């Protein structure tokens, strides 16, 4: 039988997979970073058990990636930081995405069971 903590972690993984693979490749420019951050967060927060999503797109990194006169690049993991909080049956899973050796990794930061020990 799957525990609530395991299910909370699974839900976090589903949200990260959805976030990354849905939005990777989206055109982004230094002018559109804030609106894209909001769109990504609000989209993922629609999913069950998702309490909060924070997306921060690095304006300087976006500007540095623009390689043509059209003024945009494609969104990828090295351009953003993401944090999520998933709550399932009293268990909170906190996650973040960070670059490691040039690759965006989704990491479990903390799992807290509000009902544990009671």
Element (H, E) at 32: none
100 is in an annotated binding site: no
* CA dist., res. 28 & res. 31, Å (int): 8
106 is in an annotated binding site: yes
Find, among 48, 55, 37, the residue nearest to 14 by Cα: 48
Q: Which residues fall in the annotated binding site for substrate?
A: 11, 106
Q: Which residues fall in the annotated binding site?
A: 11, 106
């Amino acid at each position: 039988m799957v525990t609530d903590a395991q299910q909370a972690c699974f839900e976090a993984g589903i949200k990260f997979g959805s976030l990354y693979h849905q939005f990777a490749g989206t055109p982004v420019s230094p002018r559109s970073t804030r609106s894209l951050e909001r769109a990504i967060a609000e989209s993922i927060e629609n999913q069950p058990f998702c309490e909060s999503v924070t997306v921060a797109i690095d304006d300087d990194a976006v500007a540095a990636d623009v390689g043509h006169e059209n003024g945009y690049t494609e969104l990828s993991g090295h351009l953003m930081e993401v944090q999520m909080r998933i709550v399932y049956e009293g268990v909170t899973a906190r996650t973040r995405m960070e670059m490691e050796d040039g690759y965006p990794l989704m990491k479990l930061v903390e799992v807290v069971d509000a009902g544990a020990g009671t």
